[in-house]
């Protein structure tokens, strides 16, 4: 186990470095000058000399690769840089915005996990019944509709129509209910399809048919054999889902007006706020890396008989 953890950690380091470099290059080569964009937004007159002076002040006059290594050195000192648009340290902004996104994502992840297991199992074990068909159609619908549409629909029905919720956020736990439901429904629908497919595949295996002919109850077969067998691919999928939820909350935060990381990143893209974008990319890379790492560890712990290659470690 220790060797596995060591190998996995070692393999992650070049991945993270590579990711930061590619991210830096993509952001740096994206069209749009942050200084000119900010000054023009302010609606004030400025000269080319003023723009150049600001570019020097923010280090934007240096070659891209040099800027990358400066950023990397600062990173080792836990300095993520300063936002051009707000003038505030990026770390401070992350501390402000991360709790909302993390809470939203964790709640949506846990609820979509539970819902997907129920939906996937019901639609798999009771195929060709009206309940199963209805649920299958429902999941197909939820997979197909864009999250912004679902969010606006829920707002129109539950806030505007029924008056159960406010559109404006006041920092209460209640503010998170509709955003969590929106994220949960879309995510659970996608996850439930995988649960369903895996259960159907395992149920057709010879050893399951043997268990059925031996007279084992359906509950026992599902609990003892099917779930144990489908867990490893599901855990890997859940890890990716969690990362996607963190990254995918951008639109939901925008519609529900939640001041989370997604909204911060969206504004940073529009303003070419490089320091925020670079930190956001690094954060998302770390999340995906850690989520996958946790999934591999869990699989290794659950099924130590699986070879390392089965976890993707080479």
Residues at the site binding other proteins, with contacts judged by CB under 8 A? 30-33, 36-40, 42-48, 50-51, 54, 57, 82, 86-88, 96, 152, 155-156, 159-160, 163, 166-169, 171, 254-257, 259, 263, 266-267, 270, 272
> Nearer Cβ to other proteins, position 179 or 243?
179
- Min dist CB 181 to other proteins, Å, is 16
Instruction: State the Cα–Cα distance between residues 222 and 229, nearest whole angstrom.
Output: 10
Q: Taking the CB of residue 83, how many other CB atoms lie within 10 A of it? A: 21
Residue 62 in 3-state DSSP?
Answer: coil
Instruction: State the Cα–Cα distance between residues 108 and 28, nearest whole angstrom.
Output: 33
> Nearer Cβ to other proteins, position 79 or 96?
96
- Min dist CB 64 to other proteins, Å, is 15
- Min dist CB 130 to other proteins, Å, is 36
> Nearer Cβ to other proteins, position 54 or 222?
54
**What dihedral angle (degrees, nearest 10) is formed by the CA atoms of 236, 238, 243, 247?**
140
Check residue 272 and report its DSSP letter: T
- Min dist CB 122 to other proteins, Å, is 34
> Nearer Cβ to other proteins, position 38 or 79?
38
- Min dist CB 119 to other proteins, Å, is 29
Instruction: State the Cα–Cα distance between residues 291 and 284, nearest whole angstrom.
Output: 10
Say which residue the tokens 């380091």 belong to: 13
Instruction: State the Cα–Cα distance between residues 304 and 1, nearest whole angstrom.
Output: 9
> Nearer Cβ to other proteins, position 36 or 197?
36
């Amino acid at each position: 186990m220790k060797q596995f953890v060591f190998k996995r950690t070692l393999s992650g380091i070049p991945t993270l470095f590579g990711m930061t470099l590619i991210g830096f290059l993509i952001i740096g080569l994206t069209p749009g000058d942050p200084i000119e964009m900010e000054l023009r937004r302010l609606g004030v007159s400025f000269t080319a000399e003023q723009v150049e002076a600001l570019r020097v002040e923010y280090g934007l006059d240096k070659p891209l690769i040099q800027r990358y290594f400066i950023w990397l050195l600062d990173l080792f000192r836990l300095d993520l840089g300063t936002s051009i648009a707000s003038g505030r340290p990026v770390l401070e902004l992350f501390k402000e915005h991360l709790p909302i996104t993390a809470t939203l994502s964790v709640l949506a992840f846990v609820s979509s996990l539970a819902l997907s297991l129920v939906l996937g199992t019901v639609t798999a074990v009771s195929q060709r019944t009206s309940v199963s068909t209805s649920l299958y159609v429902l999941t197909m619908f939820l997979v197909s509709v864009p999250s912004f549409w679902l969010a606006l629909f829920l707002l129109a029905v539950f806030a505007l129509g029924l008056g159960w919720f406010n559109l404006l956020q006041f920092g209460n736990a209640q503010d998170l209910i509709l955003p969590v439901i929106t994220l949960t429904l879309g995510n659970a629908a996608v996850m439930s399809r995988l649960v369903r497919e895996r259960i159907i595949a395992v149920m057709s295996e010879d050893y399951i048919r043997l268990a059925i002919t031996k007279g084992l109850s359906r509950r026992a077969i599902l609990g003892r054999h099917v779930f144990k067998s489908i867990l490893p691919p599901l855990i890997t999928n859940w890890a990716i889902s969690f990362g996607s939820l963190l990254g995918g909350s951008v639109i939901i935060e925008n519609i529900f007006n939640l001041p989370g990381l997604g909204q911060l990143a969206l504004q940073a893209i529009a303003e070419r706020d490089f320091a925020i974008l670079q930190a956001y990319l690094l954060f998302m890379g770390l999340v995906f890396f850690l989520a996958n790492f946790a999934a591999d560890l869990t699989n290794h712990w659950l099924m130590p008989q699986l070879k390392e290659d089965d976890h993707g470690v080479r």
